[in-house]
Amino acid sequence: MAFDIDMIKGVYANMAERVDKAREIVGKPLTLSEKILYSHLWDGNPSKAFVRGKDYVDFAPDRIACQDATAQMALLQFMQAGKPKVAVPTTVHCDHLIQAKNGAAADLKFANTSSAEVFDFLESVSNKYGIGFWKPGAGIIHQVVLENYAFPGGMMIGTDSHTVNAGGLGMVAIGVGGADAVDVMAGMAWELKFPKLIGVRLTGNISGWTAPKDVILKVAEILTVKGGTGAIVEYFGPGAKALSCTGKGTICNMGAEIGATTSTFGYDESMERYLRATDRADVADAANKVKDYLTADEDVYANPEQYFDQVIDIDLTELNPLLNGPFTPDLSTPVGSDMTEKATKNDWPIQVEWGLIGSCTNSSYEDLSRASSIAQQALDKGLKMKAELGINPGSEQVRFTAERDGILGIFEDLDAKIFTNACGPCIGQWARYSDPKNAPKNSIVHSFNRNFAKRADGNPNTHAFVASPEITAAIAVAGRLDFNPMKDTLINENGEEVRFDEPTGWELPPKGFEVEDAGFLAPMEDGSGVKVVVDDSSERLQLLEPFVPIKNEELQGVKLLIKAFGKCTTDHISMAGPWLRFRGHLDNIANNTLIGAVNAYNKKTNFVKNQLTGEYGGVPDTQRAYKAAGIKSIVVGDHNYGEGSSREHAAMQPRHLGVAAVLVKSFARIHETNLKKQGMLGLTFANESDYDLIQEDDTFNFIDIADFAPDKPLTLEIVHADGSKDTIKVNHTYNEAQIGWFKEGSALNVIKRENAA
């Protein structure tokens, strides 16, 4: 039986009336995305048609999911909200703080010791406030959500950018910062700009070596890392229906890499099969009663150009396996000879040192079974591994079932390392090197979603390429980046030329899923007596102090902290890896603020000019000097600033250190919202070329900040070191409520005031 089945039935009970009303108001057939959005309005039944990409809308999500790295800050904020219990079903999943090194048992034991303080804190807070708790080793948040909580037609938010994985079960599931989650936990509306809609029509059928992963790798090539910004991507067509539910999840998961708000698929038979296989027949039965409301209206998919802002066509029959990378998830290369040419031209290492299979993107039973069919062939054909191989199962249920069915044993026979059911290398939790900064240039292939520099192992010289699990397995056996398993042969132990057959696998385990201890702890019915203790001397956890509003007079004489050059993701602003241990301690983790950003003036990282002394130093050190002097600062950036993870630390850390504004050419959606939530100014150049006007010793005056209002650009005076000045216009997307957050110091301050009223 499903968790929260009464809540799910309640959603379905309201859906027909709300969707029918929305269709009447909009005056045309509706996409699935619109049906879910309009049926989750905070005010209930729709009363107006919203303008895509313009109108801010209040929504009422059905549930929230948090992973342990982001849950710390989210729950520290919720503790200030003055609420006795979360208002909607919420879960915490311990998957980020487990480092991959020696193998599952040893790594989990080490994590339970080294991060005991954090795990105990999360468990006690969950118990106190009515939150479901998934223990370390239970699995990766998004796989666990897909197996237990996702349901067609639902809306959820999660404090991780890959929350979008649940779109594989027909949800609108969106990654947010912790402050957004706190709003919903506290019983308030969640605000989102009504998304634009991108339709992806899939025709033909996937077969042979091509996998669902290749669909999203192709979409990433087409749309690039920012092409989906502000939009929901809705997949449809006969090719979509032919994909497995977990395959759909893979495609939706990596939608985060194109900047999409989320991605989703209409309810179909593959979703019903998955629901029944994961002991949720009750959800499938309920969904079947309203199934016409769990997919788009018929005319939408028949004439998509009339209903979507953009339509992309992909013929799955013609789609071939791809490798995306290095250093960005949208640089796509067909497997084989094209890679030989491109790698040679760009000096990418052809030899592959590691293949990694798992992460929230590709860690299902189907993924492991298809990859294991390649591993079994390597054993049968007498092939030795040329690269090392690591496996991260997605959940304890997947791991237990895969072990029962002999799948993990096949990998182990190839000397693969089975890591914990956790994120591991996908988020930098991989103890590959003792000194990653000085590690050698190399290539790895993985089935993860992100491949930014230093993402997996902290080594800036690691060239990471994203592929399907089966291609990852084949390339790991061959040890060459340009190996094409569809055509190329390998020499086995007997000196014979052998070739791989096409991979095979199971959509669902033939003998059903099985697990002894899934790792779930239900909260107490009444947690009012639970005490949450945070040691004042802890280096891992720190109770929060409310942010103080930034005064208008503080926005005069603002110093440039850093002008970031090129890509500046949340990994550059607040690195993961070893820094994850400080995710619950704002002052300590602030010491990594922007240390990965490239200074436009000297092309170095963590080396900026202190305008007070004229000396160069680390970004956090320089900013702490400005803070001590009572001076606010500004960060300037390029396009898609804040791309990547949902981590609100990338906004909270600069705010804590005294950064007042971030001025860029364009923002990634979640990061812009996070800046607003923390009471900062997130601004964009009205004229992008004004980025070039910014000089190293500049001081900024916000001339008309007193007139800060929706749809009204701000005027910024830039004072250069020689006394000359430039005056530029900067845009913003703040509405009245968001300006209220700024004026009160943060969105959380507003929540506290309203709860106290």
Q: How confident is the model at residue 577, as a pLDDT? A: 78
Q: Which pLDDT value is given to residue 757?
A: 66
User: Could you give the residue ranges of the DSSP H alpha helices within 254-388?
Assistant: 269-277, 281-289, 298-302, 337-346, 365-380
User: Please, are residues 484 and 335 in contact by the beta-carbon 8 Å criterion?
Assistant: yes
The three-point CA angle 295-248-5 to 5° equals 60
As a whole number of angstroms, the distance between CA 548 and CA 746 comes to 8
Residues 633/658, Cβ–Cβ less than 8 Å:
yes
Q: Which residues contact 302 (CB under 8 A, 6 or more apart)?
A: none
H/E stretch holding 164: none
Q: What are phi and psi of 688, to 5 degrees?
A: -55, -30
pLDDT digits (tens, 9 = 90+) for 59-76: 999 999 999 999 999 999
| Residues with active-site annotation | 95-96, 160, 450, 645, 647
Average pLDDT over residues 669-682: 94
The Cα 704–Cα 717 span in angstroms is 10
Q: Return phi, psi of residue 202, to 5°.
A: -105, 120
Tell me the per-residue pLDDT of 211-256, one tens digit each, with 9 for 90 and over: 999 999 999 999 999 899 999 999 999 999 999 999 999 999 999 9
Q: Is the pLDDT of residue 173 over 90?
A: yes
Comparing 110 with 645, the larger pLDDT belongs to: 110
Cα distances from 537 to residues 532, 542, 543, 585, in angstroms, run 15, 9, 11, 11
Percent of the chain at pLDDT > 70 equals: 100
For 161, which DSSP code?
Answer: G
Q: What is the average per-residue pLDDT within 646-668?
A: 95
User: Tens digits of per-residue pLDDT, 187-205?
Assistant: 999 999 999 999 999 999 9
Angle (CA) 525-530-533 rounded to 5° is: 150
Instruction: State both tokens at 573.
Output: 């602003």
Mean pLDDT of the chain: 96
pLDDT value at 92 more than 90: yes
Structure confidence at residue 707 as a pLDDT band (50, 70, 90)? very high
Please tell me what DSSP assigns to residue 527: -
Q: Are 200 and 222 in contact (CB under 8 A)?
A: no
Report the relative pairing of strands 558-563 and 699-702 from DSSP bridges.
Answer: antiparallel
B/e letters for 318-329, b = 16+ CB within 10 Å, e = fewer, are ebebbbbbbbbb
pLDDT of amino acid 81: 86
Q: What would the pLDDT profile of 329-348 be if each residue is shown by its tens digit?
A: 999 999 999 999 999 999 99
Distances (CA, A) of 525 to 76, 82, 93, 122, 690: 21, 18, 20, 17, 57
**Amino acid at the residue 25:** I
pTM of the model: 0.89
φ/ψ of 464, rounded to 5, equals -100, 130
Does 646 score more than 80 pLDDT?
A: no
Predicted confidence (pLDDT) per residue in 289-343, tens digit: 999 999 999 999 999 999 999 999 999 999 999 999 999 999 999 999 999 999 9
Of 58-62, 259-263, 641-645, least confident by mean pLDDT is 641-645
Q: Is pLDDT of 168 > 90? A: yes
Residue type, 716: L
Cα end-to-end span (Å), the chain: 40
Instruction: State the DSSP code for 567.
Output: -
pLDDT score of 756: 75
**In this structure, are residues 330 and 220 in contact, taking their beta carbons and an 8 Å threshold?**
yes
Q: 244 vs 83, which has greater pLDDT?
A: 244
Q: Which tens digit of pLDDT belongs to each residue from 546-561?
A: 999 999 999 999 999 9
